[in-house]
């Protein structure tokens, strides 16, 4: 399987050079869970590269972004069109964070800037094994989060499979059996997620809050488990 990563965000400027770029983080997450010949490339839409034609792709990952679906940027509506075409073709598609949101928005869901504020640090999510149609999946899973926007109404063609008290619609699978999206960031390693917490000092978190968020990441993240879950689901679509 060849994954095209639609790259819609950057590592914060103060962290660049110290941590892998987002496409590399996705490769590190998914490559161990797929066959040895799985390959990746990135289309940097955030830097002006054209959005590809879904007909030319084998599988796609839609990354996170600093933008929200409500922002007026020149690639937002073309991305909605891309999602609809990819969905209609049953192209294996993974959306993460903003990717989760834009897929839901494009296919009839509702996304808002949550009145709950930011979700940051380590969070534990309940996994609905029946919704995934996969055996022997974990009852819950710990992942890093970094978001303020949330899907609050899923599309009618989607079923929630991942939830927390803070983010009730944290993961969706879709009726075409080829689309899976998640709000948290399984691609984030603990050191990167910890640095993001520190980066958020005073925007909006206090020092005391940042320290608590950093300490949450002393507990393990289950990135590999989520990577395998994603791989198992997308294998069925390939």
- Per-residue pLDDT band for 111 (boundaries 50, 70, 90) equals very high
Dist. CA 230–CA 3, nearest whole Å = 13
Dist. CA 167–CA 171, nearest whole Å = 9
- The answer to whether the CB of 96 falls within 8 A of the CB of 104 is no
Cis peptide preceding 71, ω within 30 of 0: no
**Per-residue model confidence (pLDDT) at position 138:** 64
- Per residue in 185-197, pLDDT tens? 999 999 999 999 9
DSSP string over 213-227? HHHHTTSPP-HHHHH
Question: Is 3.40.640.10 the CATH classification of the domain at 2-114+147-187+222-237?
Answer: no
- The answer to whether the CB of 92 falls within 8 A of the CB of 35 is no
3 state SS of 9: coil
**Per-residue model confidence (pLDDT) at position 198:** 94
* pLDDT, averaged across the chain: 94
- Per residue in 155-187, pLDDT tens? 999 999 999 999 999 999 999 999 999 999 999
**Per-residue model confidence (pLDDT) at position 136:** 67
Q: What separation in angstroms does the CA of 217 have from each of 121, 123, 190, 191, 209? A: 6, 9, 6, 8, 13
- The answer to whether the CB of 34 falls within 8 A of the CB of 195 is no
3 state SS of 235: helix
Please give the residue that has the higher pLDDT: either 97 or 12: 97
- Per residue in 39-49, pLDDT tens? 999 999 999 99
Q: Could you list the beta-strand ranges (E) of 33-153.
A: 39-43, 59-62, 93-96, 110-113, 119-127, 140-147, 149-153
Domain limits, the chain: 2-114+147-187+222-237
pLDDT > 90? residue 131: no
Beta bridge partners of 62: 6, 95
Prediction pTM value: 0.95
């Amino acid at each position: 399987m060849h994954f095209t990563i639609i790259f819609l965000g950057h590592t914060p400027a103060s962290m660049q050079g110290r941590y892998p770029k987002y496409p590399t983080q996705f490769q590190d997450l998914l490559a161990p869970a797929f066959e040895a010949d799985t390959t990746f490339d990135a289309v940097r839409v955030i830097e002006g590269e054209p959005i590809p034609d879904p007909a030319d792709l084998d599988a796609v990952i839609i990354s996170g972004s600093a933008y929200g679906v409500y922002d007026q940027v020149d690639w937002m509506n073309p991305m909605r069109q891309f999602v609809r075409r990819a969905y209609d073709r049953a192209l294996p598609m993974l959306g993460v964070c903003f990717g989760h949101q834009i897929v839901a928005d494009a296919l009839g869901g509702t996304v808002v800037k949550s009145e709950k504020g930011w979700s940051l640090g380590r969070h534990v999510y309940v996994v609905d094994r029946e919704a995934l149609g996969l055996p022997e999946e974990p009852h819950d899973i710990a992942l890093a989060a970094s978001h303020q926007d949330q899907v609050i109404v899923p599309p009618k063609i989607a079923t929630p499979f991942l939830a927390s008290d803070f983010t009730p619609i944290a993961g969706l699978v879709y009726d075409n059996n080829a689309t899976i999206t998640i709000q948290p960031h399984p691609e984030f390693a603990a050191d990167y997620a910890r640095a993001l917490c520190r980066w958020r000092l005073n925007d909006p978190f206090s020092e005391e809050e940042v320290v608590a968020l950093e300490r949450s990441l002393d507990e393990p993240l289950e990135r590999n488990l989520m990577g395998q879950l994603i791989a198992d689901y997308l294998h069925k679509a390939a």
